[in-house]
Amino acid sequence: MCGICGCGQNNSEHTHHHHQHTHGETERLVKVEQDLLSKNNRYAEQNRQYFQQHGIFALNFVSSPGSGKTTLLVETIKKLQQQFAIAVIEGDQQTTHDADRIRATGAAALQINTGKACHLDAHSIGHAVTDLKVPDSSFLAIENVGNLVCPSGFDLGEAHKVVVLSVTEGDDKPLKYSDMFHAADLMIINKIDLLPYVDFDVEHCINYAKQVNPNIEILQISATKGDNFDAWLGWLSGHIFAQKLVKDCA
Ligand SMILES: Nc1nc2c(ncn2[C@@H]2O[C@H](COP(=O)(O)OP(=O)(O)OP(=O)(O)O)[C@@H](O)[C@H]2O)c(=O)[nH]1
Ligand SMILES: [Mg+2]
């Protein structure tokens, strides 16, 4: 992950290395990576405590580019915004396109442009939560940068990582990018309306995902056509209520 590409370092100093690393350089890279992750984990823990105290149910949506994360969020907000307060943090290397799409629904959204970095980090999320003034007892959706590798190692303080896999990407992805499917608690197989047109074996995909993560939950949906969307809304509403209850009973 980022120890390889170096993206967790100060972005302005970011460079890709195309030469062989000496033994000493490799050790230094490993050390930098460990320091970065432990620093990130401390911020993530602070975020997690904040979310628990304020009854905020936070999900970290991860996937390769274009699997349908923003579409899923837009359709979810349209269905649930009368019932719950919803805020969205959008992570992208460039542009505010996704935050603009979310704001068009009326929900509050903040875009974090990560520049060369290929994932969000817990420190930026803490600031974004303050800037967005995320309300108590709300649903906070965090859309990570489209990348099936780097975001897996960065805890943001979320309740769950949700990995979105679209059927155009191939049913073997849970095995090939196993860290991500291991880190996620829910896999959403999206774009099932396209199943008649692609060679995607749903059963194989589910078996591969369970192989790397026996406890992973799985939903199959179409975010654009609405297939099985109620199952997703039911899953989400139940969790938002539960988080709110924990706060109210504390
Ligand atoms: N057929 C079909 N298309 C979908 C579905 N969900 C999303 N799409 C399309 O897939 C494309 C990418 O969707 P986005 O929501 O932008 O995907 P994303 O994961 O947010 O993309 P990045 O933020 O760039 O990683 C768009 O053209 C959507 O209309 C679906 O369920 N079925
Ligand atoms: Mg998006």
pLDDT in tens, the chain (250 residues): 455 345 554 443 344 445 566 777 788 877 777 778 899 999 999 999 999 999 999 999 999 999 999 999 999 999 999 999 999 999 999 999 999 999 999 999 999 999 999 999 999 999 999 999 999 999 999 999 999 999 999 999 999 999 999 999 999 999 999 999 999 999 999 999 999 999 999 999 999 999 999 999 999 999 999 999 999 999 999 999 998 887 788 7
Please name which ligand lies nearest the alpha carbon of 67. Answer: 1
- The residues, ordered by sequence, that sit 6+ positions from 120 with a Cβ below 8 Å of its Cβ are 60, 89, 91, 112, 114, 142, 144, 145, 151, 154, 156
pLDDT of residue 196: 98
Tell me which residue has its CA closest to atom 14 in ligand 1: 68
DSSP 146-159: S-SSGGGG---S-S
Tell me which residue has its CA closest to atom 32 in ligand 1: 191
Length of the chain: 250
Rounded-to-integer distance, Cα 69 and Cα 63, Å:
8
Residue 10 falls within a domain, yes or no? no
Residue 234 falls within a domain, yes or no? yes
Rounded-to-integer distance, Cα 93 and Cα 106, Å:
24
Pocket test for ligand 1, best of 72, 221, 224, 225 (most atoms within 8 A of CB): 224
pLDDT of residue 32: 77
Tell me which residue has its CA closest to atom 9 in ligand 1: 68
Residue 164 falls within a domain, yes or no? yes
CATH of the domain at 170: 3.40.50.300
Residue 11 falls within a domain, yes or no? no
| Sole residue written with tokens 């003034």 | 133
Residue-number span of the structural domain to which 40 is assigned? 19-249
User: Which residues are close to ligand 2, an ion, with C-beta < 5 A?
Assistant: 69-70, 98
Residue 97 falls within a domain, yes or no? yes
Entry pTM: 0.91
Alpha-carbon distance values, 124 to 67, 90, 149, 233 (Å): 24, 11, 19, 28
Residue 221 CA, closest ligand 1 atom number? 31
Total count of domains within the chain = 1
Q: How far is CA 207 from the centre of its chain?
A: 22
pLDDT of residue 10: 45
Find the residues whose C-beta lies inside 6 A of ligand 1.
63, 65-71, 98, 146, 190-191, 193-194, 222-224
Residue 9 falls within a domain, yes or no? no
Residue 12 falls within a domain, yes or no? no
Tell me which residue has its CA closest to atom 25 in ligand 1: 65
Pairing of strands 186-190, 160-166: parallel
Residue 183 falls within a domain, yes or no? yes
